Structure 1
């Protein structure tokens, strides 16, 4: 049996295949079972954050014992910490990565294995800001931190090609950051890679209902409850909170990924369609039969390896 391939969106989803590999089936359902057990929609955000760190965090010493060539460094912008990861000796570019975690979970420590992979696969020096988390720090704290950190990194590496990457909430935050950079007249990055970006705090995408039951990880209740933590007293329809509703013209080239079966499929698809209409270069790839954030969460799958290949081709194509 063969696994499903990534399919580009050019007006519709690719046809669904009837066969999946056993590895894919076990990986998707196993990860879905773990996430559903640990991260219930109404579990307190502090408890879920602690679980995320307990299961995801890996010490620098442990990783350097496994990968002796990996180097870590630290930068600061006031109280904001930024972890730097280098898994290649002479990186050709800079990646500014905004981690996922629904705006209330996640940290550089819990993303280290993923950022090592970003560095190695994209031949990059990776910067990961430890942006403030909701509900203690609702919007605009995360965006303010991302903006300050990006300007700091740009000043540190003024001549290097630089890319914004982000997954899930970090993907939506990356798009909001692009919009702020454009609106303030600052130099844009060479491109942005957004993996399963959460771009709509109003949960209005058709896939929220269409993929109900097919998404093994999330429900509408998850999205609505978790969005409230970040939105706070702000308007969920605002462009910075829900960049799916923003003017997406004059942005950096975009490469978007989404799983065919995830609730946030339309969060990415609508961004792709709107950006393309407004003249921003955009390409979107759907993982057939895939779930949320599959290239980072399940990197051993063939579908994920192909996604990493697409990412590498994207960063190597810019700047032109």
Structure 2
């Protein structure tokens, strides 16, 4: 049974956020509204610490922010890739979640400031994620690395994992996706079947995100649709998704793809929660428990790797 807190946030998503995403085409305005919503609704953890960190790789660098609460972590590093249909999302909206995930996993949590569409189209965000990951791999102090992302950030996480496997790079210790936007071909049945039941995401928003990010690039490229990716020898993966989401089938298909290639994968399905409900951590028990579960999953993989 859903808590009253989750029912409240479901209503806020349906009555406020979903209409904004569906009805306002002006991208800067949507970003400003998203920032205002984050300032009003998201709970900043007590003792939150933010440290700007430039990760150097090759001839360039990428900008990250380390988000932390509590004691200094000892279990490695987490690279977090945020959602927002490749078009919105920033530190203000995610710092609390990234810090709480890092604390739950006992890892130093890095939020990547990747370039947003339509100003920065594919493959900019994926290239920046790759550079950040390789920089962490080259840092002897980074320790075991986990990859976590939500929605469009989940797309980037598994596209990055595909690159890692294809290029023979050092594997992360664990990978977690929250409602990943994994198939930009947009052929999955839940896009239509769950159009009404999804509390937050209108189909028009998905279409805009695809168009802005790809700019005509082939959606069958596994670097943009990781549901078609190669994942042999990848580490254990965890996927969270709600059955009422329009991206529900993306998660199921991605989990099947991973399992078919021998990857230990847990698909955790919920019912009645809004897209990426984890953002309500600190204000909702469903979010708190899901963040704790992801943290425990990462900690277990780190422990198993170091035995």
Given the two structures, how large is their TM-score scaled by the length of structure 1? Answer: 0.86
Contact residue 57 and residue 112 of structure 1 kept, 8 A: no
SS in 1 for 2:70: coil
Identify if the C-alpha distance between structure 1 residues 83 and 224 changes in structure 2 by more than 3 Å, giving closer, same or farther.
same
Whether contact under 8 Å (2:18, 2:202) holds in the other structure is no
The separation in 1 between residues aligned to 2:211 and 2:106, in whole angstroms, is: 37
2:47 aligns with 68
Whichever structure has more helix as a proportion of its residues is 2
Distance 1:24 1:83 in 2: 29
Give 3-state SS (helix, strand or coil) of 2:117's partner.
Answer: coil
* Displacement of 1:86: 2.3
Change (3 A) 1:206 1:74: same
1:46 aligned to 2:28?
yes
Bigger mean CA deviation after superposition, 198-207 or 24-33: 24-33
1:196 paired residue among 138, 159, 179: 179
Alpha-carbon distance in structure 2 between the residues aligned to 1:247 and 1:125: 28
CA contact (8 A) 2:87 2:118 kept: yes
SS for the counterpart of 1:72 is: strand
SS of equivalent residue, structure 1 residue 80: strand
Q: Report the Cα offset of residue 126 of structure 1.
A: 0.6
Greater mean deviation of Cα atoms: 300-309 or 181-190: 300-309
1:105 corresponds to 2:88 = yes
Give the stretch that moved more between structures: 219-228 or 176-185: 219-228
Q: How does 1:131-210 map to 2 (within 5 A)?
A: 131-158=114-141, 160-210=143-193
Q: Deviations over 1:239-298 (max 9, x none)?
A: 011111223322221100001110001111111111111101100101122221112246
Q: Which residue of 1 aligns with 2:244?
A: 261
Whether 2:17 is the aligned partner of 1:35: answer: yes
1:290 equivalenced with 2:276 (yes/no): no
Shift of 1:71: 4.8
Say if 2:225 is the partner of 1:225: no
Superposed CA RMSD in Å reads: 2.2
Using the size of structure 2 for normalisation, the TM-score is 0.89
1:206, CA displacement in angstroms?
Answer: 1.5
CA shift, 1:97, in A, is: 0.2
Given the alignment of the two structures, is residue 24 of structure 1 paired with residue 12 of structure 2, yes or no?
no
Q: Which runs of at least 4 in structure 1 moved beyond 4 Å after TM superposition?
A: none
8 Å CA contact 1:272, 1:282 repeated in 2:
yes
Aligned partners of 1:295 and 1:308 also within 8 Å: yes
User: Alignment partner for residue 302 of structure 1, among 285, 292, 299?
Assistant: 285
Given candidates 62, 68, 74, the residue that maps to 1:86 is: 68
Tell me, in whole angstroms, the C-alpha distance in 2 between the residues paired with 1:30 and 1:220: 18
Unmatched 5+ residue regions in structure 1? 4-19
**How big is the shift at 1:41?**
5.6
Query: How far is the alpha carbon of 1:116 from its aligned partner?
Result: 1.9
Q: Measure the CA separation in 1 of the matches of 2:140 and 2:25.
A: 41
Sort the Cα spacing of 1:184 and 1:247 in 2 relative to 1 into closer, same or farther, 3 A.
closer
Partner Cα distance (1:81, 1:99) in 2? 14
- The runs of 5 or more residues in structure 2 that have no matched partner are none
Query: 8 Å contact 1:71–1:87 — kept in the other structure?
Result: no
Aligned equivalent of 2:229: 246
SS at match of 2:83: coil
1-side partners of 2:39 and 2:113: how far apart?
13
